[in-house]
Structures are given as C-alpha cells and as structure tokens.
Amino acid sequence: MDIYSRKFAVIVIIALASILALQVMANGNSASQQIDSETCELYIMDANINAKKYLSEFDQKCLDFKNLNR
C-alpha cells in the first residue's frame, strides 16, 4: 500500500478519528459522582486542581448502611 494512495489516507483518518472519540469518551466519565465513605456525601473529582468538589447531597443507601452498623 503506497502512502500517497487515497485508501491509505482514509484508513489513517478513520484510525485517528476513532482514537479521538475514545479519548473523549474516557474523559467524559471522569466527572462521575462518587461517595465519601466517612460522611456519605456525594462529590466529583475536579480534574483541573485534582481535588474533591462536594455537592451537598447525601447517598441514602450509604446512610442506611452506616446506621445499621451502629
């Protein structure tokens, strides 16, 4: 396959577009909600400063489970 052929160019463009799509999908999941194990408060990780951002919401299942352990 010659690197100057159209077929090669199309294959490279498709490969690069699929890699870009995978990276966008992987980065989109980084903002998923997580639960603090001690307080049962929901938070998200801020990728810019690598810190937790609390949402002032609590997970009811976590709170119920903590109440059972008392």
Query: How many domains are contained in the chain?
Result: 2
Residue-wise pLDDT for 11-57, tens only, equals 999 999 999 998 887 766 555 678 888 888 999 887 778 888 888 89
Q: Which domain holds residue 25?
A: 1-30
* pTM: predicted TM-score of the whole model, two decimal places: 0.48
Do both 26 and 37 map to the same domain? no
Do both 20 and 49 map to the same domain? no
Residue 34 in 3-state DSSP? strand
Do both 60 and 70 map to the same domain? yes
Do both 25 and 54 map to the same domain? no
Do both 26 and 58 map to the same domain? no
Please name the residue that has the structure tokens 């609590």: 58
The CA-based angle 31-68-35, given to 5 degrees, is 10
Do both 25 and 57 map to the same domain? no
Bridge partners (DSSP) of residue 36 are none
Do both 70 and 43 map to the same domain? yes
